[in-house]
Structure 1
Amino acid sequence: MMWLLLFLGPCFLLPGTGAISFYLRPLTKKCLKEEIHKDVLVTGQYEVSEQPGLTCDLKVTDSIGPYLYSKEEAKKGKFAFTTDDYDVYEVCFESKSASDMGFTDQLIVLDIKHGVEAKNYEDVAKTEKLKPLEVELRRLEDLTHSVVKDFSYMKKREEEMRDTNESTSLRVLYFSMFSMFCLVALATWQVCYLRHFFKAKKLIE
């Protein structure tokens, strides 16, 4: 899982682990964004180090709707939601304070998972009374469905891009043909006009 960090200032991304940690400077805002498919479960677990006089607000949003999750003075907790559509989802931490005195940076640890990674198979095993091998097979089945879904989406995007490319090529071809026709017509008109002008001046017969 790869998350894009869009903010001012450095942070540390730990690819492969699913968890990231970074320092939030006082009175600043840092956000993380990722594109996620439709009907995907997303879970997150966060922890914010305490600093006297400082609070940190957490907000999870998409590009169109209200907050999917909002927590003022966030310290430690979890959130979960299922995506309604393919969109860019954003997790933001904002540092706030009622005074202007000097503060130290707050350490934030965030663990976000989605899709198969976010599903709790221990609860599934308890609910459906599955054996360990069956749980692993269920996880592999869900992972396979996720991969197939991703490939289907990539194929659809490739078809859309190919159609757009073909449409653009046709438009360029038609425009080139129209431009050529205009040039030929203009050149023919110029020749006829000049011929008529020279004849009127009796420069040519």
Structure 2
Amino acid sequence: FFFDCWRLNLETMQVGRLITLTYFLYLVGFVDAFGSGLTLKIEAHAEHCVFDDVKTAGDRVFFSFQVTAGGSLDIDVAIHGPEMGDIWTTERESESRVLFKAPVTGTYQFCFSNKMSTLTGKTVQFHISVGDPIEAMSKNKNKDRKRPDSIERSIVRLEEGLMEIRDEQQYLRTRERIHRDTAESTNARVMYWSIFESGLLVLMGLGQVFYLKRCFEVTRNV
């Protein structure tokens, strides 16, 4: 009897953990739907825009970008509202982060311009996040006449923190790769220049030896 009770409790705990894990994965997917990270290749004299919809006025919009390859690692960026008004613009920037509240609903444009470049294309990595997962979950719960409990809020906040850590790690990895590429390129140039200097010194030494040898040669007429 006691063995059966212990086995029943163990099975109940396993089922409860499985349900909790399933619910957590559901919330992870729910929160992850609010953000998107992409990479674009912008050719010279080209401009590319991406679009994202804001369904509620006052929603939080987070936008970040970083030029990872190409030329001087700079690009022109602009954010346009639904009425084609400029919300934010910058020129010849390598990286930046913007957080603002959408004044109106509609489709917002995030444009990258490489028109100032004559030959080199640019590779841009960017991230767009629209809305607050907690508020969206509350609205969905209110439709069912329920409110998210503290556990749900804690899980979503935890997932938000994990997403921020993930984005920060990706940002730092990208910066490290850019700096490593720059350092490796500089080291390669130094190495090639050192090889050139060494070869030039060897040639100059051989030339001086040959010249001195010719100077001390005595020509005898028979």
> TM-score, structure 2 length as denominator?
0.44
What's the TM-score, normalizing by structure 1? 0.47
Which structure shows the bigger proportion of residues in helix conformation? 2
